[in-house]
Each structure stands twice: as structure tokens, then as C-alpha cells.
Amino acid sequence: MRRALIGVLGAATLLFLAGIASAQMGWGPMSPGVMGPGMGWGPGGVYGCPGSGGVGQAEATPVTEEQAKELAQQYADRYLKGFTVDKVLPFTGMRGATMFSIELKGPKDELRVLHINPWGNVMPFGGPGRRVG
């Protein structure tokens, strides 16, 4: 009886660990290959990224330089009191999409940099201790 119980517990443990490993590796019923086109991490679509090319989605219009400047100032007003937009630097990202690097100047000549992707997501660049100039 004891040997049977040890065998069953050992097999259950192995199945449990195999299930965790397959979930971490992206295998299983929700993996991108099983879900169909435009619903995974592959070229057809990326989770959490609007306008990423899923099936039936219309392409989102890219953010203009003026919109990027407005978004950066809204971010600064909310999270970086006293900072204003100093420079708007467009650059080409993946797949030829225009993105923006925005330099914000603080009240004591501090410099902060934000990146804005083609869909208008604002991302701070660098740590809070970064100072230039």
C-alpha cells in the first residue's frame, strides 16, 4: 500500500511540474499557434498593443509630432511638476513607424526623456537620478 501511494504521489508531482513548465514555455491550449492568426505574440498580433495587426483590425493612425508634444506635456503635468517640453525628436522605429523622443526641462534645469510610440503610449526613459548637462 505504501509503495502504491508513493508511486501515485510521485506521478502526480511529475505531472504538476510538467504542467507548470509547459505553461511557462507557452505551450498548451492558449499558445499563439493554437489561438489562430492575430491573437498571439507572433507577427499577426501582440497582446496589449493596439493596432498591432490582428485579423479584422483597422490600422491605427500614427501620432503626429504635435500630438506627441501634447501627450508629453500631459504626462509632465501629472507626474513631473514644473517640467515643460524642450525638444521633440522624431525617429524611425520598427517597421518604419515614426516614434518620438521628448526632452523635458525641469525648473532647476533637470532633464528627463520620454519616448512616445506610434500609438501614443508614453514611456519614461532613464532613471530618476539621471542628469545631463
Which residue ranges make up each domain of the chain? 2-30, 36-60, 65-125
Residue 17's pLDDT band (cuts 50, 70, 90): confident
Mean of the pLDDT values across residues 52-68? 70
Distance, in Å, from the CA atom of 112 to the CA atom of 130, rounded to the nearest integer, reads 8
Q: Which residue has the higher pLDDT, 84 or 26?
A: 84
pLDDT at residue 59 in the model: 61
CA contacts within 13 A on the Cβ side of 4? 1
Tens of pLDDT, residues 44-59: 444 445 444 444 445 6
Q: What is the pTM of this model?
A: 0.52
